[in-house]
Amino acid sequence: MSYDFDLFVIGAGSGGIAAARRAAEYGAKVGLAEAGRLGGTCVNRGCVPKKLMVYAANFTEMFEAAPGYGWSPIESTFDWPHLIDAVEAEVTRLNGIYQRMLDNSKVQLFRSYASFVDEHTLLVGDEKVTADKILIAVGGRPVRPEIPGIEHTLTSDDIFLLKDKPRRMVILGGGYIGCEFAGVLHRLGSEVTQIIRSDKILRGFDDEIRGEVQTSMEQAGIHLMTNSKVMSIKKVDSGVDVMVCTEHGKEHIFADAVSLAAVGRRPNTDKLGLENTGVELTAGAIAVDDHSATNISNIFAVGDCTNRINLTPVAIKEGRIFADTYFGNKPAVMAYDNVPTAVFTIPEIGTVGMTEEEAKAEYGEESIKVYRSRFRPMFYTLPNMEAKTLMKLVVHQPTDRVLGAHMVGDHAAEIIQGIAIAVKMGATKAQFDATVAIHPSSAEEFVTMR
């Protein structure tokens, strides 16, 4: 049977664009549907604008440290609208780059939503198109929990659109996005309250790392309400009134805005017409095998809509492996072990491999040895500022293999990226020890721990 396209991709986020371009390089005729901006969450309302805001927030520490290095005290004011406009301009520039990349790859872009009519047919806007293979790469969207007054809240996407900096911000949840925004907004001058249902932020990360970041956030002045639950949110003249149930009773928190940045995201699969195909879902996510294939032979999915590891580089790699396998005759399988990641909290987290808790659960506590180093980086000595870095290695004693590496502190993401190569290759603690240190640096601690 003849089709309009060899491959049609739904969603022009990181994974979808990567797959579309790679398949086109192999000679496939590719169509791509995207009703929103190119680049998906990462470029438009995620990694890129968030990291730019983190850079802006870090200047406050630089100003504070400057007199310790002989500079006169720095008095500066912050212009929120300028930052928001500058970030938006950079996002727009990146959108243009993605458009040119698609044009150069000869991928046909449809600026419309796409939904399934049947297994090979899509309704794209008002037009029906057919494809031999269809790849779903629609990402996720912020969750809105069922709380009275939830309509008065902002999602993580909305924070980048605020025209004025909130004087008082309440953040719901202890996930990594919310913790990142808590640090940024606090450093930029907002009064931040973060409400979490458990006793600790960042569930799923190494427990010691979580505690280190939480302590630092609280010492910086972020008000963390642990073991607490939001009961209702009301609009009032001064902003919003958040009623919170705590361990000690009910409490009202008044703020200019409430953000849902930290309560999670879910696969964005609702309006795809999947019921017309028989594609199976698992807890709202598209169920796929090791080759990103669904239970329908010609339909595939990558990225956050599959809810495997929801990271931009993972989606990109999944998309490229999909194209290599089905259009380049280079079959491969995505490896989900030892995927490094960073959390741009203040202080920053970098991590790869097993947490201490995971390693002990799998191998037994007696088989695991943890090496750690906690110190004040050299940068903070002359200004005499209290800032700590924590590094740890989780080692399997019978084999000496490093199972996990974790860090809290300045440049954690940059440092862990290199360490991740060693962990991925199965390096031993002896090999770490045999590596000559770069002195003076924070990174040298990873090869000098005893």
274-296: pLDDT as tens digits? 999 999 999 999 999 999 999 99
**Domain-located, residue 333:** no
Q: Are residues 247 and 292 located together in one domain of the fold?
A: no
**DSSP labels, 262-300:** TS-EEE--TTS-GGGTT--EETTEEP--TTSB-SSTTEE
Residues 170, 64 share a domain: no
Q: Which residues are catalytic?
A: 439
- Do 183 and 254 belong to one domain? yes
| 282 located within any domain | yes
- Is 418 in contact with 446 (CB distance < 8 Å)? no
Q: Is 9 part of any domain? A: yes
Q: Are residues 102 and 71 in the same domain?
A: yes
- Residues 135 and 14 both lie in one domain: yes
What is the band of 261 on the pLDDT scale with cuts at 50, 70, 90?
Answer: low
Find the CATH number of the domain harbouring 395.
3.30.390.30
Does 155 share its domain with 257?
yes
Cβ atoms 8, 298 nearer than 8 A: no
Evaluate if residue 262 carries a pLDDT over 90: no
Q: Are 197 and 231 in contact (CB under 8 A)?
A: no
Give the structural domain span for 93.
5-142+266-327
**135 found inside a domain:** yes
- Asked if pLDDT for residue 263 goes beyond 80, the answer is no
Whether 39 has a pLDDT exceeding 70, the answer reads: yes
Residue 391 bridge partners (DSSP) = 373, 407
239 and 278 inside one domain: no
Tokens describing residue 368: 């695991």
Higher-confidence position of 263 and 386:
386
Encoded tokens for 28: 């496939």
Residue 280 lies in a domain: yes
Does a structural domain hold residue 332?
Answer: no
What's the structural domain count of the chain? 3
The overall pTM is greater than 0.85: yes
Q: 127 and 35, same structural domain?
A: yes
- Look-up: residue for tokens 């796409």? 114
Same domain, 350 and 317: no
Supply the mean pLDDT for the chain.
96
Output the domain CATH number for residue 102. Answer: 3.50.50.60
Query: 232 pLDDT exceeds 80?
Result: yes
| In a shared domain, residues 259 and 162 | yes
Average pLDDT estimate for 254-268: 83
